[in-house]
Chain A
């Protein structure tokens, strides 16, 4: 790399990691110099989080190694990594809300006096560290009462140690106000001056410009480029992030669009998203793109009645609807497929047939009893139509992720909702099944005339399936692009520019 005779602070050497059929990291190698701020960029799903997991011992790589200060290391968990001076702070702080700030900072390294906890020292240490970092919080208050930014500072205070070698910050400013963010910049500058290497994961160009000494771009789990920050301009960085190896086919539509089915006007959930207005027509698929945390899923969930503090108007087929809860919205013909299939999407301990029939059980019964033959006919029909692997009496837990998603979709084929909200419909699904799910979505929209709103972090998917693309940044709708005008570069430019306050 450079002519520096010192060993790199951290060397990532040929690291690979697979999850089932999904390749999260493939043969990734790059170096981080001591005392540099290194921006790690890439689209959602490019492998950044997986790489952090591998470095901190959260995940075991399938191949390759991590070398810290010239010594290969194999952390079995984040605690071991911490002991060696490697710490990570995530987007969502992982603190103990019922304990005080000082107790959280001291967790695992409590100062003791004899067999007892030395409270005075613990509080003093915490206070000193917080002041050092420039956020004078009261160490004795409970974490439960802190703002998101404050909890993040507590996390950082916990991570910063005398012998901190490497600090990983995963999207640290996504929940911060500009003032709070600049405090964080100061901390990073100070750490750099002390010789700590910082990995800064971010989507925000202006942050990267302000802080980073060098930049590494990941794409589809592969290392694309590592370069000094001065050598990569914004346009080039975006080009490197989206340049694609996988291309998903678009399928030209022949069926016309109908009247608007879902209309959303000035939808606002304070602090989450604001003043969002759009509509989805009968037969149309509208993709919702944006960065993770921009508020995309929350918009879909709000339409499904999952936000209690909603204001604005929602109309289904022209009729105003108050999204009061899932049961009410299902009744109005709205269906929602959550991102976390296993926890929220399917009932894994029930059979394929029961899962498919569950939303239809009332129509499948007579005099209060279910007509099992009809239920099985329905399940068998949908199973064949969607080529779900497995018999209808098999448990859903025996299926792969892709087939579970097909089961989740199949039940809505049976009830025929008017509006279908999909949240990351192919997250973690292999490429072959992905194409099948896309075909199903087209069929649901074009032939069965549903209005589909699809939240997706997978840009090729958004471009392949959508008729129109909405771009959300920081809780605001920043672009509404007809598919003909949508490109990865344009979407990403809107998403990241909107992010720059």
Chain B
């Protein structure tokens, strides 16, 4: 047994093992390093105000990343997450403007929209067998196009938003934004579901080895579709929260966020090949990303440097994952060579 597989065996964990744990610790170390550097360079980084702002950005990103994790674990992608967020926020708040009586039911409407849009993604990927990157690239445009059409170049203004959503967005609990707490609860809930429910186990099993999952009698369609539906619902709810915070909502809300969300998931160690990683890692990845963005702004770094740095972090994270993946594969292969050439 090689050192690598030995370590892997000792730290065994469902769906990731030592690789996951080492990777997680690596991200924490990277985050601490970032914070140290930024604090030394700009002491203002460590101010309570600034950290709160970092956490707020991270909260939105972490929630969306939690949804994305459900899809990436199955070995797929959801590029339409930003469009689902924007579409839900616009449609729901447009409805509340005309029908204030809806009250908290708006959340249910958002969930329904997310469910349908997620199910469409899942249908395209499973039943029609379209590669997920293409399918969701398509729905990214379709969903966004639908909002533009629906919005007809108009905005939903702050006044149309239900007051309670505005006060929720502004609320503070124990000194932190309510959104940070919502994100913590959501991430833990998804984590507990993935770990504790049969459905979560199937998600990991399928992502890790679709062929074997098939022979186990698991339904790939059900697994992938539920992943997309989960991601859609979470994206819809996050869209609502983002809309409530922004106030004036146009049809471009949250456009382009899918890259940030994917970056968070990947930096957090969720394997882009599926089957490995955790929602906590993805949330941590969101914190790292938020820290990078905030720190570089404080340093007065130009926008393109920020993009450069963010891109490097993503590539480095995936390179590390590829390395881990190769090691695991090598250990697998070495022990399984058959008689046949």
Contacts and interface: CB of A to CB of B under 8 A. Distances in A.
Partners in one complex: yes
Interface stretch (A117-125, A242-250, A388-396, A481-489): A388-396
Contacts of A414: none
A346 B335 CA distance: 13
Given A50-B339, A397-B8, A349 B276 contact: yes
B335 A49 contact: no
Contact of A428 (B12, B214, B276, B339): B339
B39 interface: no
A341 to B, nearest CB: 7
Given A20-B335, A326-B217, A398 B212 contact: no
Given A50-B341, A344-B215, A349-B15, A428 B8 contact: no
B211 interface: yes
Interface in B286-341: 328, 331-333, 335-341
A106 interface: no
A393 B197 CA distance: 18
Given A22-B339, A395-B12, A327 B218 contact: yes
Contacts of B14: 350-351, 354
Given A347-B209, A351-B13, A358 B338 contact: no
- Most central of A59, A304, A349, A400 by chain B CB within 10 Å: A349
B337 A20 contact: yes
A394 B335 CA distance: 15
Contacts of A140: none
Contact of B336 (A337, A393, A401): A401
Contacts, number: 147
B249 to A, nearest CB: 35
A386 interface: no
B9 A395 contact: yes
A316 interface: no
A215 interface: no
Interface string B197-230: 1100110110011011111111100000000000
Contact of A330 (B217, B331, B333): B217
A342 B338 CA distance: 11
Given A390-B9, A395-B12, A349 B197 contact: no
- Most central of A344, A348, A350, A391 by chain B CB within 10 Å: A350
Interface string A318-351: 0000000011011100001110011111111111
A53 B333 CA distance: 18
B285 interface: no
Given A349-B208, A349-B275, A428 B336 contact: yes
Interface in A357-374: 357-359, 361-362, 364-365, 368-370, 372
B5 interface: yes
A341 B209 CA distance: 11
A50 B339 CA distance: 7
Contacts of B336: 341-342, 401, 404, 428
Contact of A24 (B5, B205, B215, B339): B339
B16 interface: yes
A334 to B, nearest CB: 9
A315 interface: no
A93 interface: no
A348 B16 CA distance: 10
B341 A59 contact: yes
A216 to B, nearest CB: 17
B9 A394 contact: yes
Contacts of A45: 339-340
Nearest to B274: A349
Interface string B11-24: 01111110000000
Contacts of B9: 390, 394-395, 398
A400 B204 CA distance: 22
B104 interface: no
Interface in B1-43: 1, 5-6, 8-10, 12-17
A344 B213 CA distance: 8
B339 A365 contact: no
Interface in A297-315: 304
Contacts of A400: 335
B159 interface: no
B175 interface: no
Interface in B165-199: 196-198
Contacts of B338: 19, 22, 401, 427-428
A270 to B, nearest CB: 23
A341 B13 CA distance: 21
A435 interface: no
Interface string A396-408: 0111110010000
Interface of B: 1, 5-6, 8-10, 12-17, 196-198, 201-202, 204-205, 208-209, 211-219, 275-276, 328, 331-333, 335-341
Interface of A: 19-20, 22, 24, 45, 47, 49-50, 52-53, 58-59, 304, 326-327, 329-331, 336-338, 341-352, 354, 357-359, 361-362, 364-365, 368-370, 372, 390-391, 393-395, 397-401, 404, 411, 427-428
Top 7 A-B pairs ranked by shortest CB distance? A330-B217, A53-B341, A428-B338, A398-B9, A361-B198, A393-B12, A49-B341
Given A397-B328, A398-B8, 14 more contacts: A22-B339, A53-B341, A330-B217, A345-B212, A348-B209, A350-B15, A350-B205, A350-B208, A369-B197, A370-B196, A372-B196, A393-B12, A397-B331, A400-B335
